[in-house]
């Protein structure tokens, strides 16, 4: 029998109201509260689109992996100097103005990609890590690694987002790689907040980070802008306020000014319209469930871990919690054994399911408990009368 219980005291703690949905002008958009994993906005989130320079995040992630491996294991060293090929030098658009006489430190190349959006810097890294020494060989590696990371709507034809057939990413995939960079490589993440990088004094006209949010005092600290005629203006951004971090992706805006306005609006909306609520500490009992053939007739259901959820802060709806289990449970039961789920539904936000565990161990009942249970079962059958045999 499926049992459903709602603890009245818990319902009071969960009381909340919905936020207004954000109406974005972007062609596609994705916003996630990284702290809780809550998706706040998804518009055409899984449609593969030209990502422009935002796809440089994939190149950066693979470069960070290579630095972590180290040169001895086929990776990179931050102080290692890499040569610049004619192919890398040939790129236009945003560059570090590298030429074939240069040998550039990996650390400078990483800054050149992050701050200056250097197409040439990406190609240098790509050729160094490619199995065949070509940028296209590295692009094949990018596609394969993306699949391994769960980025199922991404294919790469180059390392930097230069317009090319088959070079596509979804905004969800861009958010995923941003999340991986922040989580997996915190030692490199501060580079994304740097506002200037003047490489070798040679390119004063390209020394500034194009991220429009970094100087606004709203907690923004990354990650990558993008623009081509085909893709429009886009941004993979992240901001942290207090204990919360938000990651967002927008693409397809018509101007840089529109991109800046949209990005700032999304950050303000995500932090002002939602709040993180502490719902209970580990060990908090939320309900009781019946026990069959045990020394006691019920067992408490409690949180195994501290629980907090993201909840809207304005509107006129609510958040509801429901404890679901199949019971009664048969003894023996071990303390900490998972018995039930707490299902949390929030207006405008995805459902959350949290395991609940037994608050105590329950030993099997003795002879009298089993005898009583058998007699009760027999009496119930007698009272039910003969069964219809048809």
Beta pairing partners, 364: 294
With beta carbons less than 8 A apart as the criterion, state whether 113 and 125 touch: yes
* Per-residue model confidence (pLDDT) at position 346: 75
For 28-272, CATH number out of 3.40.710.10, 3.30.830.10, 1.10.357.10, 3.30.420.40 equals 3.40.710.10
Where exactly does CATH 3.40.710.10 map onto the chain?
28-272
* Per-residue model confidence (pLDDT) at position 9: 35
Cis peptide before 223 (omega within 30 of 0): yes
How many other CB atoms sit within 10 Å of the CB of residue 136?
Answer: 17
Where exactly does CATH 2.60.410.10 map onto the chain?
2-15+278-383
Residue numbers in the chain where pLDDT is lower than 50: 1-2, 4-18, 316-317, 367, 369, 389-390
* Per-residue model confidence (pLDDT) at position 159: 98
What does DSSP say about strands 298-303 and 285-292: parallel, antiparallel, or unpaired?
Answer: antiparallel
* Per-residue model confidence (pLDDT) at position 390: 43
Name the residue with tokens 């971090």. Answer: 245
* Per-residue model confidence (pLDDT) at position 369: 46
The CATH T-level fold of domain 2-15+278-383 is: Peptidoglycan synthesis regulatory factor (PBP3), Domain 2 (2.60.410)
- List the structure tokens of 225: 């802008």
pTM, full prediction:
0.83
With beta carbons less than 8 A apart as the criterion, state whether 224 and 212 touch: no
Q: Which residues of 72-88 are buried (b: 16+ CB within 10 A; e: fewer)?
A: eeebbeeebebebbebb
Q: Which one, of 122, 124, 180, lies nearest residue 151 by Cα?
A: 180
Half-sphere exposure of 46 (CA within 13 A, CB side): 3
CA distance 32 to 14: 21
């Amino acid at each position: 029998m499926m049992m459903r219980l709602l603890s009245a005291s818990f319902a009071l703690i969960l009381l909340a109201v919905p936020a207004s949905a954000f109406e974005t002008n972007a062609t596609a958009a994705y916003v996630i509260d990284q702290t809780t994993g809550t998706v706040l906005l998804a518009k055409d989130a899984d449609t593969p689109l030209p990502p422009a320079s935002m796809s440089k995040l994939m190149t950066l992630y693979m470069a960070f992996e290579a630095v972590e491996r180290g040169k001895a294991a086929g990776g990179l060293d931050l102080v290692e100097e890499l040569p610049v090929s004619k192919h890398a030098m040939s790129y236009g658009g945003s560059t570090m103005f590298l030429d074939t006489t240069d040998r550039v430190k990996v650390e400078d190349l990483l800054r050149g990609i992050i701050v200056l959006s250097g197409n040439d810097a990406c190609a240098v890294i790509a050729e160094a890590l490619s199995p065949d020494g070509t940028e296209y060989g590295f692009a094949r590696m990018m596609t394969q690694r993306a699949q391994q990371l769960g980025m199922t709507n991404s294919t790469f034809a180059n390392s930097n987002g230069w317009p090319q057939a088959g070079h596509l990413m979804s905004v969800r995939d861009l958010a995923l790689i941003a999340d991986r960079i922040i989580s997996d490589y915190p030692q490199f993440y501060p580079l994304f907040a740097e506002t200037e990088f003047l490489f070798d004094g040679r390119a004063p006209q390209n020394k500034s980070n194009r991220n429009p949010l970094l100087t606004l005092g709203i907690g923004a600290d990354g990650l990558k802008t993008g623009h081509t005629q085909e893709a429009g203006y886009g941004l993979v951004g992240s901001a942290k306020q207090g204990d919360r971090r938000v990651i967002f992706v927008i693409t397809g805006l018509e101007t840089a000014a529109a991109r800046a306005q949209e990005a700032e609006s999304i950050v303000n909306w995500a932090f002002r319209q939602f709040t993180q609520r502490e719902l209970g500490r580990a060990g908090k009992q939320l309900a009781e469930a019946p026990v069959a053939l045990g020394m006691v007739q019920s067992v408490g259901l409690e949180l195994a871990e501290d629980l907090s959820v993201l909840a809207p802060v304005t509107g006129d709806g609510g958040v509801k919690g429901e404890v679901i289990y199949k019971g009664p449970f048969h003894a023996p039961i071990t303390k900490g054994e998972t018995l039930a789920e707490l299902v949390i539904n929030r207006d405008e936000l995805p459902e959350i399911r949290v395991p609940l565990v037994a608050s105590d161990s329950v030993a099997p009942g003795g002879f009298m408990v089993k005898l009583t249970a058998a007699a009760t079962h027999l009496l119930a059958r007698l009272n039910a009368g003969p069964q219809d045999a048809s």
